[in-house]
Amino acid sequence: MTAAQVKKPQDSSLPSSFNDDIQKQKYNNKKRDQAEEAWWVNGAFVIIVHIISLLSLLTYTADRKTWIMSYLICQFAMFGITVGYHRLWSHRAYEAKLPLRIVLCLLGTLGFQGSIKWWVLRHRLHHRWTDTEHDPYSAAKGFWFSHMGWIFKKPHYPRMRLIDSSDLNADPVVRFQHKYYVPLALSCGLAAPTLIGWLWGDALGGFLYGGIISRAVIWHSTFCINSFAHWAGDQLYSNEVSARGNLFLALMTHGEGYHNFHHEFPKDFRNGYRLFDWDPSKWIIYTLHTLTNQIPKVSRVPENEIRKAMVNMELIKAQEKRQKCDWGIDPSSLPVITLEQYKQKQEQEGKEWILVDDFVLDVSTFKDDHPGGAKILKNYYGKDSTKAFHGGLNDHSKAAITMTAMFRVAKIERIQKTE
Ligand SMILES: [Zn+2]
Ligand SMILES: [Zn+2]
């Protein structure tokens, strides 16, 4: 057996049967080529929807009832995505009974964002490998890519096999929707609004506004989570990934804008965990949990864990601020002299030196700014003023103690007296 035959591939994404470098290289080349391949069908569909939306808005005046219907479609579909696709199926942030799962599935199908299974697996990749090449909508590849550029690339996810899909395969609602996704999406997303519009004589408006324009609006609302929420906002809970939180995005996305919290605590049914955070998806889940039997259990991260994450971030930010200040001369870089040398230097060279806490301080530039006056400092030239500094004459403030580091010129070496 040769060395090449026993060599195991290091990349865990490679099939274990690959046992030599040539095979590995071929596999990686193929992977790269596939990754760069444009996904024309998908891209064309998205572009056509946008063009029709724009032309419809410019040229077609829809009935007022059609506008209201389209607005409601957007709302329902977004809740289907946030409450259903995202928090229930992607993160199992709560448990839902079959009737509610069916309703959420239908609402989510309205969003035209692929089947639950398709959506959830990619979202799990996004959380597992955020900002890396394995993140389907990695913010590291730029704002445009994370917003909708990824749609135009043929998907190739070598690490998909590492994502657990057993819960999705076990759910009959997910299986059914995945199998019949295209007819379901076309009938819920396009045929239904057209038919409803027809009821008041505006079938075309129903199709254009309730079918096409609504799809574009819902898409962008969701896309914003992958782009804006990884680009603008605060990082109150973690700075390990690009996820950020902001109120504006929460208003646009039914509460999904607190994305920094969500990335740090994805299993929590809340995205905006604070009482007054704008998170209607959280309120719907909580209301159904409290008032019905459809949500028997919700997941909450213990408050203590959230507080610890926040404190850690405050410490990181404080450390960053600390590093921006000048804290004076590092003691390890100071020359070390004896007490005798300190006294001699002051006497022979007329140095304006005082001694505090075994540090020799050159107060020549400071003496006139000393709040207690220059005279009191001069009295201690060449002497040890430690006791006077710490309460003998004045118990100096923390700020004063910190400030002494700015005037350090030497450190005193104490010679231990031996018996
Ligand atoms: Zn994210
Ligand atoms: Zn998520």
Cα-to-centroid distance, 99 and ligand 2 (Å): 23
Q: What is the CB neighbour count within 10 angstroms for residue 144?
A: 10
Give the separation between CA 169 and CA 167, rounded to whole angstroms: 6
Mean pLDDT of the 91-110 span: 97
- Strand 408-413 to strand 336-338: parallel, antiparallel, or no bridges (unpaired)? parallel
CA triple 375-376-379, angle to 5 deg: 90
Cα-to-centroid distance, 265 and ligand 2 (Å): 9
Q: How much is the pTM?
A: 0.80
Cα-to-centroid distance, 406 and ligand 2 (Å): 49
pLDDT tens per residue across span 258-314: 999 999 999 999 999 998 899 999 999 999 999 999 999 999 999 999 999 999 999
Cα-to-centroid distance, 225 and ligand 1 (Å): 6
| Shortest-distance ligand to the CA of residue 229 | 1
Cα-to-centroid distance, 189 and ligand 1 (Å): 26
Cα-to-centroid distance, 139 and ligand 1 (Å): 9
- Residue 199, pLDDT score: 96
Cα-to-centroid distance, 230 and ligand 1 (Å): 6
Cα-to-centroid distance, 198 and ligand 2 (Å): 38
- Residue 35, pLDDT score: 53
119: pLDDT strictly greater than 50: yes
27: pLDDT strictly greater than 80: no
pLDDT tens per residue across span 195-227: 999 999 999 999 999 999 999 999 999 999 999
**Percent of the chain whose predicted confidence (pLDDT) is above 70:** 90
- Residue 17, pLDDT score: 46
Cα-to-centroid distance, 289 and ligand 1 (Å): 26
Cα-to-centroid distance, 277 and ligand 1 (Å): 18
Average predicted confidence (pLDDT) for the chain: 89
241: pLDDT strictly greater than 90: yes
| Shortest-distance ligand to the CA of residue 262 | 2
Please provide residue 373's backbone torsions phi and psi, each rounded to the nearest 5 degrees: 100, 155
Give the separation between CA 92 and CA 84, rounded to whole angstroms: 10
Domains, in order of start, for the chain: 1-33 (no CATH), 37-315 (no CATH), 331-413 (3.10.120.10)
Q: Which residue has the tokens 């104490």?
A: 414
Cα-to-centroid distance, 261 and ligand 2 (Å): 10
* Stronger pLDDT, 163 or 23, i.e. the higher one: 163
Give the three-class secondary structure for 308. Answer: helix
Residues in the chain: 419
pLDDT band at 38; cut points 50, 70, 90: confident
- Residue 312, pLDDT score: 96
Cα-to-centroid distance, 128 and ligand 2 (Å): 10
- Residue 40, pLDDT score: 86
| Shortest-distance ligand to the CA of residue 268 | 2
Please provide residue 17's backbone torsions phi and psi, each rounded to the nearest 5 degrees: -75, -15
